[in-house]
Chain A
């Protein structure tokens, strides 16, 4: 392999995944959630807390400090600590940080997690919560525009208008994922959802209705990352981190990005695929960050699964449902499984590649894509390609 020393390709693996219950009120601290998910992920890997020498999480001022978690785990001399300030755009990137730490030799075994009580404690964008005074928020907040549904509603209208999409096009995303969630034991939303239900659901921020919006969830997920070599000797089939990329996005400052109806991940996608040495046609299952329904359509286009303007037809044709050509958000996603801010998508991708998804298993899934928020408003994005170890 050329430049092997300079690529992440297949050098690290996810060897354990763990999660707490997803609920509306965990009744415990984010520290407890994190530690429980980490313990579960280590059990899954057949490793103990003494094997861990690195920690990485992302948070937005709403969760436990990773150094505190390292102390809690009894890691006396932690070799890698990564505390990422960021939300959905940073989720997959946090995993990439863990992989880079392992690939570089900085650490041998890094746990990576997201823990939040986003329903029972700090609800995101709450006007009564900590003021987000920094950066662009100061230009939105005076107009009563500060919650994630409001922020994404602005992007959504421009997108729907550009491609002449209808409300039903968003509704089909929600309905498809609800059907998937009905096959997941962890899912919070398992009642059938009809188009009538969708269209009748109340406006949150027009053009986003209730069922366009993700859940607010208390819960945590954790992943254990180590070297591909060591992964071979562990309990579960290893899932290789085959490709990874960070990419740019836009904020109010857009650096010549004047089309607010295309997700900026479109610029990163070729770099991501090149890092894994594949193209989109080799992806068997995609877990797209989906805080809101339109993000799924945008990413089908940005990651090259269809041409711009064709994502709605792809969903309507059933391509993204289980049994379709590219099953998407097979766990129900943030819309219906739970909102663990990106990393539960990576857990689902790992479980798909392990063949461990039971009734929602994508037959023969060998390569998966897991993404973070595709770069709108946050100014950055990240994604990984995961592959079943040979």
Chain B
């Protein structure tokens, strides 16, 4: 999908997260009252109800929870197959983050539980502007399962 314009649809809550991604920073919200992490961005803590929070940086690692290999393109321009992975962050076990996959297009070698780290892919958005999207990749010493 590298030569295409990629729709980047940030909203008022998520804008800072997307801008952080452009700086190659993976941001999470941290509740300043109870310390709980959350993503996607919300105004309120889903544990203690606090409205006080700050952006903090994720460790940028996690494990593969699942992945898909798309064979039927959702739009005529899409090149298939391609793989999308869902990762459970090491930071907190109920934070899940999807992304592309920096590996074989058919997902060969992926396994549930595979340890991965964040990668970043430069793209051009629907307005022709530079943007960055997530692209997970095997962590160092890839192939390990934890």
**Could you list which residues of chain A lie within 8 angstroms of chain B, going by C-beta atoms?**
125-128, 131, 133-147, 149-150, 153-158, 161, 202-207, 252-258, 260
Q: Given A138-B10, A139-B98, verify A253-B68 contact (CB < 8 Å).
A: no
Can you give 23 contacting A-B residue pairs, CB < 8 Å? A126-B74, A127-B74, A127-B78, A128-B75, A137-B9, A138-B10, A139-B98, A140-B98, A141-B9, A142-B8, A142-B133, A143-B133, A144-B1, A150-B68, A158-B65, A158-B86, A161-B66, A203-B72, A205-B68, A206-B69, A254-B95, A256-B94, A258-B94
Chain B positions 87-109 with a Cβ under 8 Å from a chain A Cβ:
88, 93-100, 107
Bound state CA distance, A142 and B134, in angstroms?
9
The distance from the CB of B96 to the nearest CB of chain A, in whole angstroms, is 6
Instruction: From B6, B38, B112, B123, give the contact of A253 (CB < 8 A).
Output: B38
The distance from the CB of A171 to the nearest CB of chain B, in whole angstroms, is 18
Of B39-47, B48-56, B137-145, the segment with at least 4 beta carbons within 8 Å of chain A is B39-47
- The residues of B that contact A256 with a CB separation of less than 8 Å are 94
Q: Given A137-B9, A139-B40, A150-B74, verify A260-B96 contact (CB < 8 Å).
A: yes
The distance from the CB of A82 to the nearest CB of chain B, in whole angstroms, is 27
Bound state CA distance, A134 and B96, in angstroms?
18
Tell me whether B72 and A142 are in contact (CB under 8 A): no
- The residues of A that contact B78 with a CB separation of less than 8 Å are 127, 144
Bound state CA distance, A238 and B133, in angstroms?
55
- The residues of B that contact A140 with a CB separation of less than 8 Å are 84, 98
Q: Given A144-B82, A157-B112, verify A253-B39 contact (CB < 8 Å).
A: yes
Bound state CA distance, A310 and B14, in angstroms?
41
- The residues of A that contact B93 with a CB separation of less than 8 Å are 258
Bound state CA distance, A5 and B88, in angstroms?
45
- The residues of B that contact A203 with a CB separation of less than 8 Å are 69, 71-72
- The residues of A that contact B35 with a CB separation of less than 8 Å are none
Shortest Cβ distance from B67 into A: residue: A157
Tell me whether B112 and A142 are in contact (CB under 8 A): no
Shortest Cβ distance from B135 into A: residue: A143
Tell me whether A158 and B72 are in contact (CB under 8 A): no
Bound state CA distance, A146 and B70, in angstroms?
11
Tell me whether B46 and A255 are in contact (CB under 8 A): yes
Instruction: From B39, B69, B123, give the contact of A252 (CB < 8 A).
Output: B39
Asked whether any CB of chain A lies closer than 8 Å to the CB of B3, the reply is no
Bound state CA distance, A269 and B67, in angstroms?
28
- The residues of A that contact B65 with a CB separation of less than 8 Å are 158, 260
Instruction: From B66, B98, B133, give the contact of A158 (CB < 8 A).
Output: B66
- Most A C-beta atoms less than 10 A away, residue of B11, B71, B73, B81: B71
Tell me whether A143 and B40 are in contact (CB under 8 A): no
Tell me whether A143 and B112 are in contact (CB under 8 A): no
Bound state CA distance, A141 and B100, in angstroms?
11
Tell me whether A205 and B39 are in contact (CB under 8 A): no
Shortest Cβ distance from B101 into A: residue: A143
- The residues of A that contact B95 with a CB separation of less than 8 Å are 254
Shortest Cβ distance from A132 into B: residue: B9
Instruction: From A126, A134, A150, A253, give the contact of B84 (CB < 8 A).
Output: A150
- The residues of A that contact B74 with a CB separation of less than 8 Å are 125-127, 144, 146-147, 150
Tell me whether B71 and A131 are in contact (CB under 8 A): no
Tell me whether A206 and B84 are in contact (CB under 8 A): no
Shortest Cβ distance from A162 into B: residue: B112
The distance from the CB of B58 to the nearest CB of chain A, in whole angstroms, is 14
- The residues of B that contact A206 with a CB separation of less than 8 Å are 68-71, 81, 107
- The residues of B that contact A258 with a CB separation of less than 8 Å are 88, 93-94
Q: Given A256-B94, A257-B94, verify A136-B70 contact (CB < 8 Å).
A: no
- The residues of B that contact A154 with a CB separation of less than 8 Å are 66-68, 84, 86, 98
Q: A144-B70, A157-B68, A252-B96 are in contact. List 15 more A-B contacts (CB 8 A).
A: A138-B8, A138-B11, A139-B97, A140-B98, A142-B133, A144-B82, A145-B98, A154-B68, A156-B66, A161-B66, A202-B72, A203-B72, A206-B69, A206-B81, A260-B86
Tell me whether B94 and A254 are in contact (CB under 8 A): yes
Bound state CA distance, A155 and B67, in angstroms?
9
Shortest Cβ distance from B77 into A: residue: A127
Bound state CA distance, A128 and B1, in angstroms?
16
Bound state CA distance, A139 and B84, in angstroms?
11
- The residues of B that contact A136 with a CB separation of less than 8 Å are 40
Q: Given A150-B68, A258-B88, verify A127-B9 contact (CB < 8 Å).
A: no
